[in-house]
Amino acid sequence: MGPPSDVTPSELFRKLQETPAPSEVVDFPRRDLQGASIGRVRLMVLDMDQQTDARMHAHRKLKARAVEAGDMTTPIVREVLGDMVAREVLAMSCCAVDPIPGTEDRDNGQGVVYPRIFRDAADLGKLTADELTTLFTAFEMSQH
């Protein structure tokens, strides 16, 4: 699959640079006592640099736990690293549905800004494994 044929390369590049990044709003995967979602979350599409940063943050945190280099290739440590990367990515991509007031109509190259819901990956530790899995699946779908 190549680039779209109905858009010039310069127009495609301009569209790729638009802000805010594409996003998708989904129900937060926790229900209240009546079975309704407790809220909604905007999942921002991350660029490759942001995804690389998430991987590097997770790797540094894992190394800080005194995991030796030889252990990094074991299945269990690779799984732990994958979970840590997922939390880092979600911390970066989960934003409020509504933009920060005053940023809605910005035309200065920065565009609309949505506040992050989680300060960092540690904040996601309060979610259940199922909630994390559901959010990460929605994140992957929004990336595609």
Q: Taking a C-beta distance cutoff of 8 angstroms, is the pair 54, 60 a contact?
A: no
10 Å CB burial of residue 51 (0-12, 13-18, 19+) is: middle
Would you state the pLDDT for residue 17?
65
Would you state the pLDDT for residue 68?
75
Range of the domain at 137: 21-143
Is 33 a domain residue? yes
Is 13 a domain residue? no
- Helix H or strand E segment including 115: none
Q: Report pTM.
A: 0.76
Is 45 a domain residue? yes
Into how many domains does the chain fold?
1
> CB within 8 A of 115, min separation 6: which ones?
95, 96, 100
Is 136 a domain residue? yes
Is 53 a domain residue? yes
Along the 144 residues of the chain, how does pLDDT read in single tens digits? 565 677 787 777 766 666 556 889 998 888 888 888 889 999 998 989 999 999 999 989 988 887 777 777 788 888 988 999 999 999 999 999 998 887 776 555 567 889 999 999 999 988 999 999 999 999 999 888
Q: What residues pair up with 10 in beta bridges, in sequence order?
A: none
